[in-house]
Amino acid sequence: MPTTQAETGSDFAHLARRVKQAGLLNRRPGYYALRAGLVTVLFAYAWALFAWIGDSWATLVVAVLLAVLFGQIALLSHDLAHRQVFRTRRPSEVAGRIAGNLGIGLSYGWWMDKHTRHHANPNHEELDPDVAPDILVWSQGQARASRGLPRFIGRHQAVLFFPLLTLEGLNLHWSSIRAVLKPGLKQRWLEAALLFTHFAVYLGAVFLVLSPVKALVFIAVHQGLWGVYLGSIFAPNHKGMPTLTGGERPDFLRRQVLTSRNVRGGRFVDVAMGGLNYQIEHHLFPSMPTPHLRLARPIVRRYCAEIGVPYSETGLVDSWARALRHLHEAGEPLRG
């Protein structure tokens, strides 16, 4: 995914110079080698533990562990897509497909295309795929135009949000399968081969070790918690922030800052959210390595104060509350 472009003399250009002078756009190969190595070792350990425990309900503990590890691998794939790890496209794509397609059953190419469009126009109702009306509606205008299942769910979507997240893992798998089954995806056959290898090995291992009932419960727990984990990472960053429609298109800096929210919480939140709790800095500098985002925060925050641009930041629980409140308000026309 290419980095953002700055116009000479723009507000963003002035900020970018400060960030670059601080060395925060430099690569961190040691950090990513350690992070990827640790996640890989834990991933292998989890499956070894699963095989060692055998046909027992105790494997549900492994399902919980794998839900977290799938989330961490997804976050690594995210960083690879933004070229935070490698400067060039080819190694980023190779590693991204291994981590995404083979590792967790998520099409790297499909997700990268979707995420690139999100970064270009965050929270724009016509241009950002993350706020396109689907099962959920993200504005009262979308609610009024909704039909069928979205209209039914939209009435109580704030209450249903976290339960619906248990299906997000399956939704990502299904979206990935659909992407490789139709023309247009780059390296489609390679992605398909890696994707179906993942499903064959995953399902084969689960049903080989566990009885059918235990296997189905294991899959439900694992995939359900993975979906909740991913939703808990991505939802707090934009939901409840201003949305754009039609020709509304502020300059790059304002388009990114005004639609994003940072989440405070210290090192635990940094690790759990893969650095995406610094969403403002990430949207301004998508190729910035994860460990530099927290260092960029005071620079960006101070600069936003200088030019009079609101900088939104809150705690983790409050960020979820704001997202749920926004969903409730968006569904208001359907409850009338």
According to the model, what pLDDT value does residue 292 have?
98
244, β-bridge pairs: 124
According to the model, what pLDDT value does residue 235 have?
86
Residue 167 φ then ψ, to 5° = -95, -5
Q: Which of 86-95, 240-249, 276-285, 319-328 has the lowest mean pLDDT?
A: 240-249
According to the model, what pLDDT value does residue 8 have?
56
According to the model, what pLDDT value does residue 312 have?
96
According to the model, what pLDDT value does residue 271 have?
95
* Other beta carbons within 10 Å of 236: 26
262, β-bridge pairs: 313
Q: Are the C-beta atoms of residues 269 and 316 closer than 8 Å to each other? A: yes
Query: pLDDT tier at 134 (50, 70, 90 boundaries)?
Result: confident
Would the pLDDT of 186 be above 60?
yes
Would the pLDDT of 6 be above 50?
no
Contacts of 30 (CB under 8 A, 6+ apart): none
According to the model, what pLDDT value does residue 7 have?
44
- Tens digits of residue pLDDT in 173-184: 999 999 999 988
180: its two tokens = 């490789």
Would the pLDDT of 159 be above 50?
yes
Query: pLDDT tier at 236 (50, 70, 90 boundaries)?
Result: confident
Q: Is 148 left (phi over 0), alpha (psi -120 to 50) or beta?
A: left
According to the model, what pLDDT value does residue 116 have?
93
According to the model, what pLDDT value does residue 335 have?
86
Query: pLDDT tier at 4 (50, 70, 90 boundaries)?
Result: very low
According to the model, what pLDDT value does residue 150 have?
86
Is this model's pTM higher than 0.85 or not?
A: yes
Would the pLDDT of 54 be above 90?
yes
Nearest CA among 77, 32, 76, 2 for reference residue 285: 2
Q: Is the dihedral of CA 198, 203, 208, 209 positive or negative?
A: positive
Would the pLDDT of 23 be above 50?
yes
Would the pLDDT of 62 be above 50?
yes
Q: Please state, rounded to an integer, the average pLDDT across all residues of the chain.
A: 93
52: its two tokens = 């060692």
Q: Which of 61-75, 198-212, 316-330 has the lowest mean pLDDT?
A: 316-330
50: its two tokens = 């699963």
User: From residue 95, how far is each of 59, 78, 90, 108, 162 by CA, in Å?
Assistant: 29, 11, 9, 10, 31
DSSP 63-114: HHHHHHHHHHHHHHHHHHHTTSS-SSHHHHHHHHHIIIIIIIS--HHHHHHH
User: What percentage of the chain reaches a pLDDT higher than 70?
Assistant: 98
